[in-house]
Amino acid sequence: MIWMTLAVLLGFFIDLLLGDPRFIYHPVCIIGNGIAAGEKLLRKIFPGTKAGERAAGILLAICVVICSAAVPAVILILLYRLSFWAGFAVETIFCWQLLATKSLKTESGKVYTELERGTLQSSQRAVAMIVGRDTQNLDRAGVSKAAVETVAENTADGIIAPLFYMMIGGAVFGFAYKAINTLDSMIGYKNDTYRYFGTFAARMDDAANYIPARLAAGLMIISAYLTGFDGRGAARIYKRDRRNHKSPNSAQTESVMAGALNIQLAGDAWYFGTLHKKPFIGDDIRPVEAEDIRRSHKLMYGTAILSAAVFAAVRLLVLGIFIKFT
């Protein structure tokens, strides 16, 4: 099915050029609304005990993922039967919507702009739009660091992971992954509200990102060499610091980014007024600066383009072998 590969690649390159199609209601918003409504309903049905919350969270996660994959699958099946080109066009648009390369650059670029032209307070507000931590007490280096960390982490779960799954199963697999990722971002917290309710969603996200995060790290190391950054440093810091995070996946690309740019990321951070102690990632070779945000964009784009090429080549190779022996 070469057409599926072409739909993914076309959606990828449209996203590189244009970013999110603002004229279309974003599917992640639909998934998010479904999660919120499902949580509200299930909390009324299931008891508020540890077992009850876990059961409700499992049911919600399974239903959301199945529905998120089934709806676009039905739409695409009907459209392809009606007209190949109608199905291909809609699948391309779906793939476009599921990727976030240009949007990640744009949103983190706003932080850079505020650091260069605005005030510290305006840059704190800008970075607060893309991170989950408290930002009101960050200095310029802290704001820059937070933005770079976001680019590094979201290169994996906002670009490489959906691209990986779409190359396997088209937009349908991409929607299933986005559902898992959205569930984790909404209910996968270890606080009093979601400690039990969101356990399954968080673990499902860890499992779904396990392979893509490591592929992203490896491809980012190669990209560091290709884009003129410190590839050797990227590989060294990755090997040393890739486990310096509670999540099994988050430090994979973050460690590569730190090594490639010769900066130190992570460390202690405030969330909802509480200090969380975290190990550092990378070496403090030089201070983090606003320009590192733009450098992270270059590495992100290099990694994204390299990943698209590699994933497409592998998919076509596997299809060729399958066709040859069937």
pLDDT at 191: 79
- Residue 274 tokens read as 């509480």
**Predicted local confidence at residue 23, as pLDDT:** 72
Q: Token pair of 215, please?
A: 């592929």
Burial readout 268-280 (b: 16 or more C-beta within 10 A, e: otherwise): ebeeeeeeeeeee
Tokens representing 66 are 């199945």
| Distance in angstroms (rounded) separating the CA atoms of residues 37 and 34 | 5
The pTM is what? 0.92
Each residue of 43-72: pLDDT tens digit? 999 998 999 999 999 999 999 999 999 999
CB 137, CB 145: distance < 8 Å: no
Q: What is the pLDDT of residue 2?
A: 84
The confidence score (pLDDT) of residue 267 equals 79
Distance CA 318, CA 18 (A): 31
* Residue range 273-323, pLDDT digits in tens: 776 778 899 999 999 999 999 999 999 999 999 999 999 999 998 888 877
Question: pLDDT tier at 26 (50, 70, 90 boundaries)?
Answer: confident
In the chain, domain spans: 2-324
- Cα(271)–Cα(287) distance, rounded to whole angstroms? 23
Reported confidence tier of residue 236, pLDDT bands at 50, 70, 90? very high
Which token pair is 302? 């290099």
Mapping DSSP to helix (H, G, I), strand (E, B) and coil, where does residue 193 land? coil
With contact defined as beta carbons under 8 Å apart, do 179 and 171 qualify? Answer: no
pLDDT in the model for residue 78? 97
182-229, pLDDT tens digit by residue?
Answer: 999 899 887 778 889 999 999 999 999 999 999 999 999 999 999 999
- Confidence at 325, pLDDT banded by 50, 70, 90: confident
Taking residues 99-106, what's their average pLDDT?
93
Distance from C-alpha of 58 to C-alpha of 197, rounded to nearest angstrom: 8
Examine the pLDDT at 110 and tell me if it is beyond 90. yes
Q: How confident is the model at residue 101 (pLDDT cuts 50, 70, 90)?
A: very high
Do 255 and 282 touch, CB atoms closer than 8 A?
A: yes
pLDDT, one tens digit per residue, over 112-163 is 999 988 888 899 899 888 887 778 888 899 999 999 999 999 999 999 999 9
92 versus 131: which is more confidently predicted?
A: 92
